[in-house]
Structure 1
Amino acid sequence: MTRTAVIAGQGALAPAVIAALDEPLVFALEGFAPDMPATPFRLERLVPFLDELLERGVQKVVFAGAIRRPRLDPEAFDPRTAQLVPRILTAMQSGDDAALREVLDVFEEHGFAICGIEDIIPELLPSQAVLSGNPTEADRRDAEQAANILSGLGPFDIGQGAVVAQGLCLAIETLPGTRAMLEFAAAHAGLRPNPNGARGVFYKAPKPGQDRRVDLPTLGPDSVTQAASAGLAGIAWQAGGVILLDRDEAIRRADAAGLFLWAREDSDI
């Protein structure tokens, strides 16, 4: 029997993926357990873990949910996984994206096919559309500026989100995450040149050149609530490149808060 394994991280994405699959095997990196039953594994014993997947008939692997770089214990490596350490450490020096690609390469070298979210639940990645509200021309210009900022930051592997108001960047997403970015933007909303002008746009997009099978940016109802608390006009994102969880509830909250939700093509303005 061919099986699919889900490497589950934290957040609401992993449960959605698991529900869409037929009896998947669910695993989680030790220290990043999701709110569901999952068999833990350690990165220091990656090769024995891959052997176990093969023995259990796994041919496809899906990565779903949030994790951060684990702290590795040098004494916990088995001999075969230890041989991979130079490759992974070299990749980590180039950033999280390079490290993830190296891990994916290891999975593929062992015969696994890596499935992206769009292969399993394509409806989670909205195509071009305004889902709620109506962005003004000023909002559209702010979204364009935010998209340009994220594109320029891509080589630095910093983050997948930015807040722009009246053409000025109020915040970019870094290691602390989206909530921290939006709280920072709210605390500095007074820096907008015109207090009565455009309130600002929260924009999300994958990093340029990112492997879209893993670590796609994710939005959901909580993102809407946080953007509303920051006093922003709405949320825009790269159409087809960002996961939107619980779309109906996200739209309901946006409608209630008077925010727009816009899946934006790169050429839109």
Structure 2
Amino acid sequence: MYNVLSIAGSDSSGGAGIQADLKAFAANGVYGMTVITAVTAQNTRGVTAIRVLDPEIVSAQIEAVFSDIRVDAVKIGMLADGKIISAVARALARWKPPVLVLDPVMVAKSGHRLLAPEAEESLIRELLPLADLLTPNIPEAETLSGMELQNADGALMEKAGRRILETGVGAVLIKGGHSQNPESSADILIDAGGSRVYTAPRLEALHTHGTGCSLSSTLAALLAGGLSLDDAVRRAKSYISEGIAHGIPLGGGCGPIHHFYSLYGGEELA
């Protein structure tokens, strides 16, 4: 079995962050491990509080895992501030995991900022050069590229991806869920070999909490198993689409996607 580590924040409602990562890891057949960077108080309606952990305990968690267990891939999510970014970057530069997928978590779906603005430069300078794959949504890609992308065509999206590649990251998958196209959602993958577009019908779904976290953790799981980047993106996108289509009507806001729908034999949760 492959072992995949998530370095991210905790979501008390279980829909995103570390909790979503563990579900995606299990659903995709890998053993999941965690390094918690922050504890959030949140539910389906939004984030109400955040407690960022000390960088020393973040580093200690990474050391504990790598010093004892083979790590086949790492997924990075919420890092919260520059001190934690630096601690994670130092540790990963030392341990050199074979696969590193970075989801540049900056703002929650509710609009709550999850990365301090002053930490963005640290993210770009210290962690992006270590990443094999970066998975920004459109607002995050705008921040990282300095380009307006809300109504961008494929050529402009690719240009933004090329600009992000200049940071040293291996490949960029810009997620199209925030685009204004009412009929389809298109993700574009940009790497040294060119660009590829992955389209899917846009689902009229309310329960989409945790989609970004789950996509990046699924990609880490699939890449750990040796899939090509193209195959991993196709399979991960299909898995997430199914999870969205069968999202769980939990709470009074935006519920989580269903990570285990296929394991229930098509039956909905009660």
TM-score range, shorter chain: 0.3 to 0.5
Asked which structure has the greater CA Rg, the reply is 1
Relative to the length of structure 1, the TM-score reads 0.36
Relative to the length of structure 2, the TM-score reads 0.36
